[in-house]
Structure 1
Amino acid sequence: MAKRVREKRTTHQGQGAAGTAPKDDGVPSRPQCIPCMDGKKCSVWMFLPLVLTLFTSAGLWIVYFIAVEDNKIIPLNVADSKSGPLKPPYISIAGDVPPASCVFSQVMNMAAFLALVIAVLRFIQLKPKVLNPWLNVSGLVALCLASFGMTLLGNFQLTNDEEIHNVGTSLTFGFGTLACWIQSALTLKINLKNEGRKAGIPRVVLSAAITLCVVLYFILMAQRFHMHAARIQWGMVMCFLCYFGSFAVEFRHYRFEIICSEYQENFLSFSESLSEASEYQTDQV
């Protein structure tokens, strides 16, 4: 009888060690996932693209309403552009003078930072899946250059330094459009979690809409139809932001971690460590 009791205690202790950890072990658990609408667990990293989309769009519209209240630009819903000294409602003109320029700079700097983080995470996410890495590297470089262009747009206003501001516009819209097409191709080609079409087809549509908006924007600018060009510009920026928000579809399946280890003499280089983590731990970095 005593032998049976000892066996039960041993079995119970073994289950406690190999099974679920005790609740009162003093170490708080880190929430890694949240429940989704489909009943599956989703990574909290899915909120990063959504924060970029919501924060940037809200910030840009705040800049627009400040400029309208201060009588700096013509409202977008005005049909006639001949409204005295008021200027067309381009985004750069709306965020050209204080106080709108202060908000515009802050919004663009935060958007550039979040876009850069998303670009790096997207590159790491696709690295173990692609056979030819040049397309993935091209997407990373294009998004990084577009993010750098955002900082130029936000910190060099149109009237203060027009040349640098125009360089930022070219980097943001030019490389941003290129990055959209590259990411659309990668989405359809790699087909993460068998959701390539669900995420890829809307991205192709958004990429086509962005490209069409860029072409129409320059045509209308050349024809001096400034009100129509301004509306096209706002629509193009909203398409860009919606595109970035679509990365939440893939990010909800992945967890990204930063691993800190003590320095040792015989240690792997960063590239070797990253490739090893990508090969054996595709869901963790």
Structure 2
Amino acid sequence: MRNCSPWTFLPIMYSVFTAGGLWVVYFIAVEDEKITPLSSEYKRSGPKSPPYISRPHRSLMVIPLSGFIIGVLRYLQLKPQVHKPWLNIGSLVAMSLACFGMTLVGNFQLSNDEELHNIGTSMTFGLGTLFCWVQSFITLKVNLRNEGRRTGIPRFLLSGAVTACMLLYFALMAQRLHMHAARAQWALVMFFLCFLATFGIEFRHYHFEIVCTDDRDPPLSLSETFSEVSEYQSDQL
């Protein structure tokens, strides 16, 4: 742990604090009788809403931004290592759109704008699941510090759990079994947060820094800046 990069704690703390924040707001909403507890049966005629994550968590909009930052750092980490850059780029695009979907879910509630809310849900869960599978494959393929198998197998298992929960969620939603769908949604999000936390394994070997240049030097494009940071990281290995 003495040579461990402080960046290893970013995905771990993100997952822990996000999960903790979601559950705290859930219990507050249950206490205020705004939603039905997950352990109860949902009555459509009652005044309470089903306990979907998006119901009480409109205020937690920092979650998509932090997730996007982790996705960008992972892209930079893998850029000098991946021989097929389209996989790395596609993974970043999937994570970015999934985070954008989270903002739609938070800003457009099911009761106010069902269409945009459902679009955001599909983007978040569908593209988030794709991100998990692509990252699991890259983990085994790149094999950073010979930890590919030890890290990749748990990620494949978590990806399978996320996929199963996602399919179950949409199937239950189609049957309007809201309470069971909400439980599947909570399980999906918890598995996804566990997946993101595993990036701390590889982040402990890397240092991400902002590179500043003198104003006499020509300005760099965003892609050139990413390239320089990636080269800097590879030199540290």
- TM-score of the superposition, structure 1-length normalised? 0.77
Give 1:86 shift: 2.6
Give 1:243 shift: 0.8
Give 1:281 shift: 4.3
Distance 1:226 1:50 in 2: 31
User: Which of 83, 101, 120 is equivalent to 1:131?
Assistant: 83
User: Which of 156, 177, 187 is equivalent to 2:129?
Assistant: 177
1:137-176 correspondence to structure 2 within 5 Å = 137-176=89-128
Give 1:74 shift: 1.5
Percentage of identical aligned residues: 59
- TM-score of the superposition, structure 2-length normalised? 0.91
Q: Are positions 1:71 and 2:71 aligned together? A: no
Give 1:223 shift: 2.3
AA aligned to 1:75 is P
Distance 1:247 1:281 in 2: 16
* Structure number with bigger Rg: 1
Please say if residues 254 and 283 of structure 1, whose CA atoms lie closer than 8 Å, have aligned partners that are also in contact: no
Mark the runs of 5 or more structure 1 residues left unpaired by the alignment. Answer: 1-35, 96-103
What does residue 146 of structure 2 align with?
194
Give 1:267 shift: 6.1
Q: Are positions 1:106 and 2:68 aligned together? A: no
1:23-102 correspondence to structure 2 within 5 Å = 36=1, 40-78=2-40, 80-82=41-43, 84-93=46-55, 95=56
Distance 1:258 1:129 in 2: 20
What does residue 185 of structure 2 align with?
233
Task: Write the deviation string for residues 83-142 of structure 1: whole angstroms up to 9, x where unpaired.
Answer: 83333222223x2xxxxxxxx2332x2111111111111001000001110000000000
Q: Are positions 1:204 and 2:150 aligned together? A: no
Give 1:266 shift: 5.2
Number of aligned pairs? 235
Q: RCO greater where, 1 or 2, for CA within 8 Å and sep 6 or more?
A: 2
Cα 1:160–1:81, aligned 2, differ >3 Å: closer, same or farther?
A: closer
Please say if residues 44 and 252 of structure 1, whose CA atoms lie closer than 8 Å, have aligned partners that are also in contact: yes
